[in-house]
Chain A
Amino acid sequence: MGIALEQGDNSSVLRLDGEIDIACAAELKTLLLKALGAGGEVRVALDEATELDVTAVQLLWAAKREAGRAGVRFAFEGQTPEPVLSGLLLTGFEEFASTMDACKLSEVVRCQP
């Protein structure tokens, strides 16, 4: 459970594991700034995440917005777990969720009541 940053020559991978909430929000911000500061592509792996709370969502959203402005590629990689995606959809973050995993998202959307 936690956050790990792996930095290569031209890319940084941020791995989120377990419940990502206010308890690790400060750490997530620091690592996002570090990843963006490195200049290369930033990828966020949510495969092992079980839940994103609002503090995590707004940090990832702000980081993605900043990467876009700076012309840095920022992407979510791997399969985002269904509970994380459906959690985002149920609470109004559809636009943000749509940037994660288009295929998976379409399945989740179809399942929504």
Chain B
Amino acid sequence: MSTVSQAEQFKQSFREEAREILVDLEAALLELNERRGDLELVGRVFRALHTIKGSGAMFGFEDLATFTHNLENAFDEVRNGRLAVGSELVDLTLSALDQIRAMLEEGADGALEADPAACAKILAGVRRLTGKPGVEAKRTAAPLKAACGTAPVNATGEMREWSIHFAPGPEFMLNGSNPLLLVRELRQLGDLAVTASMAGVPQLGELDPERCYVAWDMVLGTRAGPDAIRDVFIFVEDNCELTIEPASSSATDSESNPSGCASEIAARALDEPRASSGGRRNYDKADNAASLRVPAAKLDQFVNLVGELVTVQARLSELAARCDDPDVAAVSEEVERLTSSLRENSMNIRMLPIRATFEKFRRLVHDLARDLGKDVELTLEGADTELDKTVIDQLGDPLMHLIRNSMDHGIEPAATRASRGKRPTATIHLSARHSGASVLIGVSDDGGGIDAEAVRRRAIEKGLVAENVSLSEAETYALLFQAGFSTAKTVTDVSGRGVGMDVVRQRVDSLRGSIDVVSKAGVGTSVTLRLPLTLAIIDGLLVSVGEAFFVLPLANTLECIELTREDVERANGKQMANVRGELIPYIGLRQHFDIRTKRPAIEQIMVVETEQGRYGFVVDQVLGNCQTVIKNLGRFYRHVQVVSGATILGNGMVALILDPERLAQDAVRLNSQRSRGNYALGARSGRSRDSTIVKGIQGFAGAGE
């Protein structure tokens, strides 16, 4: 490994870690804005800034470290009760985070670049608030100075001597940490006498060249408090032995405690409650490697390989069934069991809570509320709901547009809210919950609601619907997601161009999801995105109609019942099945996809749970469970709504993965349109389109046989 690539690798690790810290920092700042006296939040902000500064300096981001150091100082003033949290400090720090983010990306692939003028303005603001000169980064044209003298001071501000023992652990260097930089950083706190002990260095032949065997004993004379000393080691303390104790009392205490519980001695001497964080660390503890940071691309590659394995395993099962050899069958079953576990495990690795995505909108709501002069709070629900990383990655933009739209158009000005007897503080509520094989992401507001009549008028103006057509509520709201559609009278910086909602629809469509809008005038609007939990592999139930194969997601499937010709005749043309006294509507897949093969005497109804209630799908045969690797159908079939993808079966045939929600919605929509006797302009029955795709794909698969 070359020097350059390793250094760049460490930098990249730092960037990734810093990005996560910045997300947490932003959330903490916004919370602090709400609860200004919360010292725990102040501590969280301080520690995050300190970590970014310390790690930044270690990995060569000197400007970033110096810039952050000023903010850290400001929050130390807050910590020590010398500065109060106000909106100016919060806003300055939030702006500073944007600059830190940009500094982080400089030199990487990102197109961001920090703005020197903005940095200087932020530092000037911090100086004004703290009344301290501060330290300027190179980019603000002042020389980079040592941080000496600006470090957090002890309660009395007296010069004290501290005895520090620091011994890096075995993994210390491999994490990209550099003990020499820590010693140098410590030197910035005051006068440091330092001795490196080489006693632990083994024979050259036995020496692991990538491990640090040196330990340091230091005496530091400083006005800085114990927190400041401990903070130097904050990001390595889990991987080193560290003792910090007052130099004058150390000898006596150590002698009277032969057991060597140095951390406790230090903590008692410092009168600090945080004994564990500053004291001796057992770096060999078992949870050192409890989690690993793995590039997402590697994980995607892993999941793709598991997908390939699942497909090959299906072929093996097919072969075993044809061989009629019990030994082959036993091996095939074992491979199937292992593949299934491997698939489940690999998919679980890629599942992430949606919290981080939700949290980042706190900043958007805060900034937009300030810009629009509205008082808005963001509330979260179900933020720990997990979904596939690939789905999460694509959720940011749609959610941003929905929130911007709610803030700009949904939430009324303060005066209007007051006249309607509403709380002055409006709410945007983000929620997530699982529903079968889907996840429901909700964005709701307690604003003025959508003016359905205005939407309809605008749609007529734009020629999207005919004047004499009556539209259901759902059909009306669906118009909002058409390209270029906007009811806004003026275009603002925030929204009104009719682009945002179109982006939402496109992104949700590409994820094979659906959008549901509920709105009540004067009360608010709720938009729910239904998205698949994963885009990779699902458990499915394989069924057939004629020569066509379909997969129904197992998570939605409840049971299977028989449908005889007598049952059909008894129903008098109504497509309803009586299941233990409950009437369940059903859809014949043969009719829906126009499959012209002979109908068997007994068909099967697969009963599935959908948002529209229970629905039955009539098929010829149920072939059994199958692990389904979802393959995208590609752009050519992007308008086909009821199919969420395709999969390759063990026999090489292609099976279409049905979307029960869309099928049920389709059925409801068609029934409703039929009963009203009209169709919206541009709305077409999806059936002919759906049947074309089935024939196209299944025919293609057949030709390949």
Contacts and interface: CB of A to CB of B under 8 A. Distances in A.
B394 interface: no
B179 A29 contact: no
Given A23-B3, A23-B6, A33-B204, A93 B209 contact: no
B6 A90 contact: no
Contact of B207 (A59, A87, A91): A59
Contact of A25 (B195, B202, B209, B218): B209
Interface string B176-207: 00111001100100000011101001111101
A66 B180 contact: no
A47 interface: no
A21 B216 contact: no
B201 A92 contact: no
Interface of B: 1-3, 6-7, 173, 178-180, 183-184, 187, 194-196, 198, 201-205, 207, 209-214, 216, 218
A24 B194 CA distance: 26
25 contacts: A18-B3, A22-B6, A23-B1, A24-B3, A25-B209, A26-B210, A32-B204, A33-B204, A33-B205, A54-B173, A54-B180, A55-B209, A55-B210, A55-B211, A58-B207, A58-B212, A58-B214, A59-B204, A61-B198, A62-B202, A66-B203, A90-B183, A90-B184, A92-B196, A92-B218
Nearest to A52: B180
A48 B2 CA distance: 18
A92 B179 CA distance: 11
B239 to A, nearest CB: 14
A59 B204 CA distance: 7
Contacts of B202: 62
A1 B201 contact: no
Nearest to B180: A91
A23 B203 contact: no
B282 to A, nearest CB: 22
Interface in A1-58: 1, 18-19, 21-26, 28-29, 32-33, 36, 53-55, 57-58
A31 B477 CA distance: 74
A84 to B, nearest CB: 12
A72 interface: no
Q: Which of A19, A53, A54 has the most CB of B within 10 A?
A: A54
A63 interface: yes
Contacts of A1: 3
Given A36-B204, A53-B178, A66-B204, A91 B194 contact: yes
Size band of the A side of the interface?
20 to 34
B218 A61 contact: no
Interface of A: 1, 18-19, 21-26, 28-29, 32-33, 36, 53-55, 57-59, 61-63, 65-66, 87, 90-94, 96
B186 to A, nearest CB: 10
A109 B495 CA distance: 65
Contacts of B3: 1, 18-19, 21, 23-24
A23 B218 CA distance: 28
Contacts, number: 83
Given A62-B204, A63-B204, A66-B204, A93 B210 contact: no
Nearest to B7: A23
Nearest to B184: A90
A62 B211 CA distance: 13
Contact of B183 (A18, A33, A91): A91
Contacts of B198: 58, 61, 96
Contacts of A58: 198, 201, 207, 212-214
A63 B203 CA distance: 8
A23 B214 contact: no
Nearest to A62: B204
Contacts of A65: 201
Nearest to B202: A62
A63 B207 CA distance: 10
Contacts of A54: 173, 178-180, 212, 214
B214 to A, nearest CB: 6
A50 B61 CA distance: 19
Contacts of A93: 196
A33 B209 CA distance: 12
A65 B206 CA distance: 14
Q: Which of B194, B198, B211 has the most CB of A within 10 A?
A: B198
A92 B212 contact: no
Contacts of A66: 203-204
A86 to B, nearest CB: 11
B201 A62 contact: yes
Contacts of B212: 54-55, 58
Contact of A29 (B6, B184, B187, B209): B209
Contact of B195 (A32, A33, A92): A92
Given A19-B3, A90-B187, A29 B207 contact: yes
Contacts of A23: 1-3, 6-7
Q: Which of A25, A26, A92 has the most CB of B within 10 A?
A: A92
B172 to A, nearest CB: 9
Nearest to A58: B201
A21 B60 CA distance: 15
A6 to B, nearest CB: 20
A57 B6 contact: no
Given A23-B6, A58-B212, A92 B204 contact: no
A94 B212 CA distance: 18
A99 to B, nearest CB: 12
A19 B196 CA distance: 20
Q: Which of A24, A58, A59, A65 has the most CB of B within 10 A?
A: A58
A1 B4 CA distance: 11
User: Which are the 6 A-B pairs with shortest beta-carbon distances?
Assistant: A92-B196, A25-B209, A92-B194, A23-B3, A62-B204, A29-B209
B210 A25 contact: yes
